């Protein structure tokens, strides 16, 4: 079975592929709009000095996402 982690578990330099999106409502719409759909590659580029939010490379764009919002994005290995 494939191991999954949430988006907020990625550390700088780590990559994953979106497997599921469990957000609801407006946050789900926002995450879908920035390209977080199944089979999309994601790379963590860095974290703010306080650790939250983190910057991710998603479909060629750098996006900052808070841990609270990234918990519902499940990733599998690349």
Does the structure show a pLDDT above 70 at 2? Answer: no
Give the per-residue pLDDT at 29: 96
pTM recorded for the entire structure: 0.89
Ramachandran bin of 49, using left for φ above 0, alpha for ψ from -120 to 50, beta for the remaining angles: alpha
Cβ–Cβ < 8 Å for 8, 39: no
- pLDDT given at position 78: 84
Asked whether the beta carbons of 23 and 75 are under 8 A apart, the reply is: no
Confidence of residue 1 (pLDDT cuts 50, 70, 90): very low
pLDDT digits (tens, 9 = 90+) for 9-59: 999 999 999 999 999 999 999 999 999 999 999 999 999 998 889 999 999
- What is the enclosing helix (H) or strand (E) of 16? strand 15-21
Specify the 3-state DSSP secondary structure of 60: coil
The C-alpha atoms of residue 48 and residue 21 are separated, in whole angstroms, by: 24
């Amino acid at each position: 079975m494939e191991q999954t982690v949430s988006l907020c578990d990625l550390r700088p330099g780590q990559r994953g592929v979106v497997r599921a999106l469990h957000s609801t409502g407006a946050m789900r719409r926002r995450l879908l709009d920035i390209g977080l759909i199944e089979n999309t590659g994601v790379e963590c580029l860095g974290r703010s000095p306080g650790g939250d939010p983190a910057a991710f490379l998603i479909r060629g764009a750098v996006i900052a996402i808070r841990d609270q919002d990234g918990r519902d994005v499940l990733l599998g290995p690349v």
